[in-house]
Amino acid sequence: MTVFDKVVTARGSPNIAFIKYWGKRDEKLILPCNSSLSMTLSSDTLNTTTSVLISKKLEKDAFYIDGVLQDLQDPDVKERFEIVNKLRKMAKVKEKMLIVSKNNFPASSGMASSASGIATLIYVLNAALELKLTQRELSIIARQGSGSACRSVFGGIVVWKKGSNPDGTDSYAEQIFDENYWAELTDNIVIVTQEKKKVSSRAGMKQTVQTNPLYEMRYSSSETHIKEFVDAYKDKDFHRIADIIIADSNEMHALMLSTKPSIRYLNKASYAIMDAIEELNAKEGKNIAAYTFDAGANAHIITLASNREKVMNALKHLQDSKEIIEIKSSKIGGAPFELNETESLIDMQSMSPYN
Ligand code: PMV
């Protein structure tokens, strides 16, 4: 078999949801209550790189993330590693693996490191194990690691269909527009905090589904938002997509706020950013920027590359007052891809990660 004793390396990136997923109808299989839509970010700005080595010479599995050897007995790590075992079983491989993964941005900082990490892990394992799974199959497996990860299997604008089968076979992501259709689109990630979020999205979603009667309204409106978004995107109508992006983010955060106990991710700086973007749009007489927030206080400002400077100027006072720590700008990006051996994170000689 050729799967042994060679290092395979791949790179993938996070995605930012424009129509948000919040709530599961099946916790174990990670089946969502509503469909969602996202833009995959360019790996030029934010990425995860993962190398895999499968060898008879390895005595045990080892998994490194950002230089730290993971404890495979830790429940969270164990859960993620289940995906590895699943794929290994599918390939009928029994040998041990060394997996080395690196993010070029801080994990758990609200920049969707789990989506990027899991999508890249599954992509690289598919290649290393020579499984030849389709992107749809990869998306179904990624979904079971972290819901939003199923969208990072594709580039461009991606919809994760909620599906209705109890076994989850029809709950996967699909590309709606490729990254070249409207390549001018950018996401400007405005970092206002580096703190780990207080409520994990998993716990928060569960709380919402259990306690918030508004969630049913949310699940029908997200379907409407997806249809409206796709129509406006087809016409490259920025004003309309911005209206939908802003409305959907506010709706999800209103849902969080009205959950018992109330979940609040946004902080003073987040609200100041919302004010600045709304003022900018009012001054321009049309929307040239849209804000959206995931389960955290950091903002994502969507704008066309040609309007980026105006957005930066509108946020300048918040940078000067140190409310904004940093802004990372990313173009719309593509699907995970394989890298050549010069990018490997594993030293074949010592069978260990490079320092
Ligand atoms: O899949 P998770 O557990 O990372 O949850 C993602 C939830 C949001 O980021 C808030 C929305 C989304 O659709 O990405």
How far does the centroid of ligand 1 lie from the alpha carbon of residue 224, in Å?
19
φ and ψ at 274, to 5 degrees? -60, -45
Strands 15-19 and 36-40 turn out to be: antiparallel
Atom of ligand 1 nearest to the CA of 146: 1
Per-residue pLDDT of the chain (355 residues; tens, 9 = 90+): 568 899 999 999 999 999 999 999 999 999 999 999 999 999 999 999 999 999 999 999 999 999 999 999 998 888 889 999 999 999 999 999 999 999 998 765 556 678 999 999 999 999 999 999 999 999 999 999 999 999 999 999 999 999 999 999 999 999 999 999 999 999 999 999 988 888 999 999 999 999 999 988 998 999 999 999 999 999 999 999 999 999 999 999 999 999 999 999 999 999 999 999 999 999 999 999 999 999 999 999 999 999 999 999 999 999 999 999 999 999 999 999 999 999 999 999 999 999 7
φ and ψ at 186, to 5 degrees? -130, 155
> The sheet that has 173-177: what strands, in order across it?
15-19, 36-40, 157-160, 173-177
Atom of ligand 1 nearest to the CA of 294: 10
Structure tokens at 141: 């497996």
Whole-angstrom distance, CA of residue 164 vs CA of residue 84: 26
Which of 34, 39, 13, 294 is CA-nearest to residue 171?
34
How far does the centroid of ligand 1 lie from the alpha carbon of residue 148, in Å?
5
Could you identify the residue written with the tokens 């997923």? 21
Whole-angstrom distance, CA of residue 95 vs CA of residue 127: 16
DSSP assignment, residue 164? -
Whole-angstrom distance, CA of residue 64 vs CA of residue 221: 41
Q: What share of the chain is helix, strand, coil (3-state, %, to 5)?
A: 40, 25, 40
Whole-angstrom distance, CA of residue 311 vs CA of residue 313: 5
Q: Which residues pair with 9 in a beta bridge?
A: 51, 339
Strands (E), the chain: 7-12, 15-19, 24-26, 31-32, 36-40, 48-55, 62-65, 68-69, 96-103, 157-160, 173-177, 185-191, 289-292, 299-304, 326-331, 337-339, 346-347, 352-353
| Residues in Cβ contact with 221 at an 8 Å cutoff, skipping those fewer than 6 apart | 251
Ligand 1 pocket test: pick from 150, 294, 298, 300 the residue with the most ligand atoms within 8 Å of its Cβ. Answer: 294
User: 329, 301 in Cβ contact below 8 A?
Assistant: no
pLDDT at 107: 67
Whole-angstrom distance, CA of residue 332 vs CA of residue 107: 21
Domains annotated for the chain, with CATH where assigned, are 7-353 (3.30.230.10)
* pTM of the predicted model as reported, rounded to 2 decimal places: 0.96
Q: Side-chain half-sphere of 179: how many Cα atoms within 13 Å?
A: 18
Q: Which residues pair with 186 in a beta bridge?
A: 303, 331
Ligand 1 contacts (CB < 6 A) are 17, 20-22, 36, 114-115, 146-148, 201-202, 294-295
User: 284, 277 in Cβ contact below 8 A?
Assistant: no
Q: Which residues pair with 10 in a beta bridge?
A: 50, 338
Q: How many CB atoms lie within 10 A of CB 352?
A: 14
Residue ID of nearest Cα to ligand 1 atom 4: 148
User: 47, 11 in Cβ contact below 8 A?
Assistant: yes
pLDDT at 196: 81
Which of 137, 77, 67 is CA-nearest to residue 104?
67
How far does the centroid of ligand 1 lie from the alpha carbon of residue 295, in Å?
7
